[in-house]
Structure 1
Amino acid sequence: MAPEPANGMLFTIGLVATWYSCNIGVLLLNKYLLSNYGFSYPMFLTMCHMTACSLLSYASVAWLKVVPLQAVRSRVQFLKIATLSLVFCFSVVGGNISLKFLPVSFNQAVGATTPFFTAVFAYLMTRKREGWITYLTLVPVVTGVIIASGGEPSFHLFGFIMCISATAARALKTVLQGILLSSEGEKLNSINLLLYMAPMAVIFLLPATIFMEGDVLAITVALAREDKKILWYLLFNSSMAYFVNLTNFLVTKHTSALTLQVLGNAKGAVAVVISILIFRNPVSLTGMLGYALTVFGVVLYSESKKRSK
């Protein structure tokens, strides 16, 4: 029997609430571990995330049958997925590094510029042109971040560069995914794509972690002897990183990509408010106005893209 509309609505609301909780939860716990707790190893933390995504993706597809398994059909497709994995890996590492130096509120303000970088990469790589109104909506997106940067009391140049780089990498992955996996035979849903990308990311991250954070394992073991909570933090944080992707897929499936975009804009604002309440990081009126302008620009951009289709 099909679920009653009320039950269906409750299910969707619960799904969105879970997606929000996982998104904001992993962001805040990343910030706590990397900055407040003093676990300053963003590459190792990202590797933990990718390891959890590898194991839980396999469990979801092979055992729980959340989605049917989609096989990699050729060596060329495998190399395309590996390229996406490398870019994805850089975006997550960059985002985690930025959280060492920047408050979550400013991190989210910079992250909201993703549509700007997506439009730039789409034009450079595919020569895809948008309408002039769509490009005009990107002006407040960028202007807002410039204003927020000038008014950010905790501004850190290296953290800002890493945050911008991570945002650009996320946009690049989106555009590359559309180019590399464009044919019907190569398209993968997000759960299957994560199933293949996450283990590749672990392989990319392992030598980098050993080279740049070589003593992290010994330090983690030493920390665990003093405070066993660090192991629970890492386990919970890594599991949430997977559930961000799973709930993202499920929300898109049960609503629409456009709804996801709108909810994503609101999620950023919610994350900003919660992070300020928890971490008590100083904020300025100028910074908040800049962030508000960026979000307003993103909403205009989404509306413009919807109307152009």
Structure 2
Amino acid sequence: MKSVLAVDVDAAHNAVTKSCSPISDQNRDAESSLSLLSTHPVPLCAPSSSPSALEALLTGSKLMGSKLNKIRGGGAISEAHTVNGSGTCKGALVSTHAKGTVLTLSYFALWFALNVYYNIVNKRVLNTLPLPFTVATAQLGIGAVYVSLSWLLRVRASPRISTTGLKDLLSIAFYHGSGQLFTVLSLGAAAVSFTHIVKALEPFFSALVAAVCFKQVFKPQVYLSLLPVVSGVAVACANDVSFGWLAFLTAMASNLAFALRANFSKGALFRYRKEGKSSMSPANVYGLVTILAFFLLLPLTCLWEGVDWRPSWRVATEKIEGTTLVHQLLLSGLFHYLNNEVMYLALDNVHPITLAVGNTAKRVFIILASLLVFRNPITLTGAVGSGVGIAGVLIYSLTKQYYDTH
């Protein structure tokens, strides 16, 4: 046992010594040292009967901690935390992990809150000002102003893209604008809970678009996992007292538009990473898509609802004050944009499976919040169907992720 420990410590010590040599490519040697350490495992705590081995181990740990901190610009584990005979080096790791967990949970909590608040405020605006084209376009415009100001004020790095690149984003912007318009139309025509029950079918449309447009065929088990989603949503819609064909068809159209947006966005982001365009981050791509979608939707809105602006505004301001209505509209646009921003932050910190669970939970919170705020009636059969459909989304996400990684 003692000889095995000595061999392992010697191997670790040689690896650390090599990584600390003054050569130009520090990162490569550090990776080599870590690889050697993984192939020659060293116990975290050496027996007290082997003081020389323990001393060599601690010396190696100190050198390795110093080297990694230098390479990474000062990591979360300092030399003082790394070298501790009592084994308290785990304290820094636990502390860093705890902070990361708190930050991630904060993102999810903010994401849920923004979604719930957006849907409630958006429905109130539509109840007062029944101009879905105008509301959808205004929300995109508010998001466009927000992200443009963040670039102009250098709150974030602005994207650098050519005219050809902007043309490539036009199709994504078209799908994004269409999805936003159809969603607002559905929310205006029915209860918030009904729209989100139908929108639980979005994974079905994503799978369909991937197969038809990108020839990406999944395992049969993945498609079978969609059956609970389709059946649950069908039962819920059939028994929903707020069912209406306009709300149903526009919610289905929004599912198709957002599925197309997601698939084409994924392809664009992959190209930008491959070409090394660091300024074209997911958040910046979403910002550009929002701006383009606003300008695409604006002419159609002017033609369709332009003549109704003055009389509809006059009727709306008889119900509530004009400043209150403007305030609600501004908040709905801002929270619509911010909830997507926070979603990207959450995705950057968790595995896609975790995000899928969060997305499912988000719809549950939105439905429950809308039922509490607007007192929309729901039958027992509709509630069961909704639960089956939403649970089916989670099953689909987990099944797809499993077969994607195996």
**TM-score between the two structures when normalised by the length of structure 2:** 0.71
State the partner residue of 2:231. Answer: 143
State the partner residue of 2:38. Answer: none
Give the aligned residue type for 1:69: S
> How far apart are residue 181 of structure 1 and its match?
4.9
**Contact 1:265/1:299 (8 A) holds in 2:** yes
Looking at structure 1, the residues matched to 162 and 269 of structure 2 have their Cα atoms a distance apart, in angstroms, of 12
**Contact 2:353/2:398 (8 A) holds in 1:** no
Q: Show the 5 A alignment for 1:1-309.
A: 2=76, 4-35=96-127, 38-66=128-156, 68-75=157-164, 77-183=165-271, 184-185=274-275, 188-219=280-311, 222=314, 223=316, 227=321, 228-308=323-403, 309=405
Give the aligned residue type for 1:71: R
> How far apart are residue 257 of structure 1 and its match?
2.9
Looking at structure 2, the residues matched to 21 and 112 of structure 1 have their Cα atoms a distance apart, in angstroms, of 19
Moved more, 155-164 or 248-257: 248-257
Label 1:83 to 1:4 Cα distance change in 2 as closer, same or farther (>3 A). Answer: same
> How far apart are residue 62 of structure 1 and its match?
4.5
Looking at structure 1, the residues matched to 377 and 402 of structure 2 have their Cα atoms a distance apart, in angstroms, of 39
**Contact 2:269/2:282 (8 A) holds in 1:** no
Give the aligned residue type for 1:70: P
Per-residue displacement from partner, 1:64-114 (whole Å, max 9, x unpaired)? Answer: 544x33322351x22220111011000000000001111111111111111
Looking at structure 1, the residues matched to 313 and 214 of structure 2 have their Cα atoms a distance apart, in angstroms, of 48
Looking at structure 2, the residues matched to 108 and 24 of structure 1 have their Cα atoms a distance apart, in angstroms, of 11
Give the aligned residue type for 2:162: R
Moved more, 226-235 or 269-278: 226-235
> How far apart are residue 206 of structure 1 and its match?
1.5
Ranges in structure 1 where 5+ consecutive residues have no aligned partner: none
Looking at structure 1, the residues matched to 399 and 343 of structure 2 have their Cα atoms a distance apart, in angstroms, of 23
Give the aligned residue type for 2:359: G
Label 1:203 to 1:5 Cα distance change in 2 as closer, same or farther (>3 A). Answer: same
What RMSD over aligned residues (CA atoms) do the two structures have, in Å?
A: 2.1
Query: In structure 1, the residue corresponding to 2:240 is in which secondary structure?
Result: coil
Per-residue displacement from partner, 1:113-158 (whole Å, max 9, x unpaired)? Answer: 1110000110001111101110100111111111111111110011
Aligned length: 305
Give the aligned residue type for 1:198: T
Looking at structure 2, the residues matched to 113 and 256 of structure 1 have their Cα atoms a distance apart, in angstroms, of 22
Give the aligned residue type for 2:212: L
Q: Work out the percentage of aligned pairs sharing the same amino acid.
A: 24
Question: Which of the two has higher C-alpha Rg?
Answer: 2
Label 1:202 to 1:271 Cα distance change in 2 as closer, same or farther (>3 A). Answer: same
Looking at structure 2, the residues matched to 219 and 10 of structure 1 have their Cα atoms a distance apart, in angstroms, of 49
Looking at structure 2, the residues matched to 189 and 259 of structure 1 have their Cα atoms a distance apart, in angstroms, of 21
**Contact 2:107/2:343 (8 A) holds in 1:** no
Looking at structure 1, the residues matched to 317 and 194 of structure 2 have their Cα atoms a distance apart, in angstroms, of 31
